[in-house]
A and B are shown apart, each in its own frame.
Chain A
């Protein structure tokens, strides 16, 4: 393996570009290309080469154009790469535009009948009789279309010298247990490889070469990671309403729970998962369950967040724990349902009317989708309040490489819950009284068999004893205690991660899925323009002390985020107005995942 590692990462070896390029596959939604793309990505991963895949899909079941981008990168940069090096143009609807968008020198693999060579001559064309090759593979007309996609895996595999054994393994994994499908798909790939070997002359620099950089790694999407986090957090009541891009959180969770959370003796469920009638009901159920002592959660996206506003305020004011996953998509309104964004930061932070503010966790990697999900349930019960986990479509629905997740090292924290024997010992119970000075009161659960246990929960004004009140002093007292509780939370939420360069005058602040593009951009800035940068990634709201220190120690701060209105920067300006003039923005809001090149160009231009 040592020699492999030493040999790898050769940028050019006789003009070769090894393990550093991007492939874009343009197909029609519903044509079954997802399997082929997964096989292609998986085979590269199995060769030990860092890889990422991004699915750019329409809000549609079948017929509209869809693109899948695979990025191969020896240095482990897995953010989206803006430039496409290899285009597989299978969709006649978009092929001309797809070809026009390529940088000069790129290559294009396309069906021969599209005659794309007439569109541009400054790129390398490989034209393939896909239909004919698929016909030779099977007589079944229905299957032909699907197998055409496997033929391109064979063609591109031959061109980049993809290990055929790894392709076969990836196919076996993709169609696990279906021998016939495995054989057919391998035959289609073989067909493509053989045709390419006999008919194509390699005239491009792109190659893969085995490496050892993916050893021990997993591939997972952020939504599955969040689902795993919820399961290992011990979630018991899950409520949701279908919405892209969040549905797969609860769908994956349903599969995992069915497999691992049925009672061993009775086979009965230690959980309830309910598909609600809408997002209002979904959060209502989660709030009801949290009140009655379950570990509850719901998962949604922007439009659902808007609908959940009222119940979130109730949860905040009446102090009821629950966890809300927001897998952000592009808004406002229905927006672009299948595109990514980070534009729900402010709306979730202060969701609902009146003075409200919430704990918001901001995972930036699939590992954090998992670990922050575990943490979110503890925070929700510790602080008796709704806690948001803000992921996004890019993180949630795309496949990412990661180190395997670690088993939670902290016990389940159910927070300040008094039992009947506690009540007996204390001889007194006031639901909303701040006994410990941290702003967090004690609660009892319905069903507690003690004369002191019961209290009345309401979203209207209430005093320390949970009785209805409209008194000014009671209201102010309550609002101040809620604020105190929120201040306490600053000490318990995840701290930012910080990578400091002592020579750097420039600091970068960001959050969430921008992470990988930022670290890549930092490297570009350093090598291309000798701009040193430090990087602070915020992992939660409210802000913690580290943010202030970071801004203080840098001359200029670039706040990088995937929304139009500079939401994080606005929030920093609000909370730390003394630093307002230090802050600059890099904004990316075209619906596509942020990429390093765009960040680098923007910072370079602002630094000029």
Chain B
């Protein structure tokens, strides 16, 4: 060993992505969530998706509200600015950030309490505006930080850890989002990393609000028998609508599948998501069939996952607002303060 050349003692250079960054460059601070938390599994897929896509971390703004899920932006992309806002109000903060700097990719994480209860209003309005952002709801059906109260996404009839039955119907965020005119709606499961990473990548490529409702079991307060948001329940009852493959704009399409069974959806940046149909009638670009399928699934208590709905044609908020190309945040004084003659003109009109 003493004679061994120095170079052989060095670890091999870590793999890098298309912009020369390693997977570690996309990580954040260590998680302080419970061991086995579904949220950490989602964090891992966010890191993987951003690394594989070659997202530039400094061009990302991480946003969240309040709750366990909203802590997670600290655990990924430490090279991106992050903003942990107030409870249920992340969408409004995101809207402001998006207007101030249109060059940023907004990567937002919320929870079912943060989105479906206190934040339901802002959830609706960000969808209505189609603010370009990735909006991930880490959905576990309970309030974790306050120790296990039901949230508004808890299914009717599901049982809390202490044995209390939920007697209220749940809010289905995906149905609601589609109804409100969302342009990208996906549902996934923290325990299905392959599907999740493809959906996150597609969401990053989408121009508009991309809603991802991800069932993310709470190992401490909602992982018991009788829960419909447990690992066991989700694993056993997940019905994927399709197998998903994502082809980023910088790669050639190499997937070969049987003709007739696949559907491609192309995004603005040229990336594509490839859907291998499992349910032969499902077309995620058809709003009516998406609504029907979801309503049927709710009635039959099915846990459907996949890309539920996508519309690449609707204008996003930046386009609707007809903003200049340069971020508003960095416009010069010459561009933002009209000249003396303008004030004179206005003053004269008031005389």
Q: Which of B58, B85, B346 contacts A228 (CB 8 A)?
A: B346
Instruction: Answer yes or no: A263 CB below 8 A from chain B CBs.
Output: yes
Q: Are A218 and B323 in contact (CB under 8 A)?
A: no
Q: Are B100 and A292 in contact (CB under 8 A)?
A: yes
Instruction: Answer yes or no: B287 CB below 8 A from chain A CBs.
Output: no
Task: Given A284-B89, A445-B329, A454-B78, decide whether A408 and B324 contact each other with a Cβ distance below 8 A.
Answer: no
Residues 275-297 of A contacting B (Cβ, < 8 Å): 276-278, 280-296
Q: Are A291 and B324 in contact (CB under 8 A)?
A: no
Residues 339-383 of A contacting B (Cβ, < 8 Å): none
**Stretch touching chain B among A32-40, A151-159, A266-274, A555-563:** A266-274
Q: In which size bucket is the chain B interface?
A: 35 or more
- Chain A residues with Cβ below 8 Å from B124 are 277
Instruction: Answer yes or no: B336 CB below 8 A from chain A CBs.
Output: yes
Instruction: Answer yes or no: B257 CB below 8 A from chain A CBs.
Output: no
Instruction: Answer yes or no: B308 CB below 8 A from chain A CBs.
Output: no
Assembled-state Cα–Cα distance A408/B340 (Å): 9
Instruction: Answer yes or no: B81 CB below 8 A from chain A CBs.
Output: yes
Q: Are B96 and A446 in contact (CB under 8 A)?
A: no
Assembled-state Cα–Cα distance A286/B328 (Å): 13
The 8 A CB mask of B317-351 against A (1 = contact, 0 = none) is 00001111101111101011110101100110011
Q: Are A404 and B78 in contact (CB under 8 A)?
A: no
Q: Are A457 and B333 in contact (CB under 8 A)?
A: no
- Chain B residues with Cβ below 8 Å from A449 are 58
Q: Which of B99, B103, B125 contacts A272 (CB 8 A)?
A: B99
Task: Given A269-B321, A292-B329, decide whether A281 and B351 contact each other with a Cβ distance below 8 A.
Answer: no
Q: Are B86 and A310 in contact (CB under 8 A)?
A: yes
Q: Are B335 and A270 in contact (CB under 8 A)?
A: yes
Q: Are B328 and A234 in contact (CB under 8 A)?
A: no
Instruction: Answer yes or no: A577 CB below 8 A from chain B CBs.
Output: no
Q: Are B338 and A285 in contact (CB under 8 A)?
A: no
Instruction: Answer yes or no: A579 CB below 8 A from chain B CBs.
Output: no
Q: Which of B73, B91, B100 contacts A237 (CB 8 A)?
A: B100
Q: Are A292 and B97 in contact (CB under 8 A)?
A: yes
Q: Nearest CB to that of B323 among chain A residues?
A: A269
Tally of chain A residues near chain B (CB < 8 A): 72
Assembled-state Cα–Cα distance A237/B59 (Å): 20
Q: Nearest CB to that of A406 among chain B residues?
A: B343
Q: Are B322 and A268 in contact (CB under 8 A)?
A: yes
Task: Given A447-B59, A454-B79, decide whether A234 and B333 contact each other with a Cβ distance below 8 A.
Answer: yes
Q: Are B350 and A407 in contact (CB under 8 A)?
A: no
Residues 1-56 of B contacting A (Cβ, < 8 Å): 29
Q: Which of B86, B92, B97, B333 contacts A412 (CB 8 A)?
A: B333
Instruction: Answer yes or no: B171 CB below 8 A from chain A CBs.
Output: no
Q: Nearest CB to that of A313 among chain B residues?
A: B86
Residues 126-164 of B contacting A (Cβ, < 8 Å): none
Q: Nearest CB to that of B83 among chain A residues?
A: A457
Interface centre among B78, B79, B103, B347 (most CB of A within 10 A): B347
Task: Given A263-B324, A276-B92, A468-B74, decide whether A404 and B347 contact each other with a Cβ distance below 8 A.
Answer: yes
- Chain B residues with Cβ below 8 Å from A217 are 351
Known: A277-B124, A284-B91, A311-B89. 18 other contacts (CB 8 A): A218-B351, A228-B346, A236-B100, A239-B96, A272-B328, A274-B321, A281-B122, A284-B89, A288-B92, A289-B96, A296-B96, A407-B343, A444-B81, A447-B81, A450-B58, A454-B79, A455-B82, A456-B74
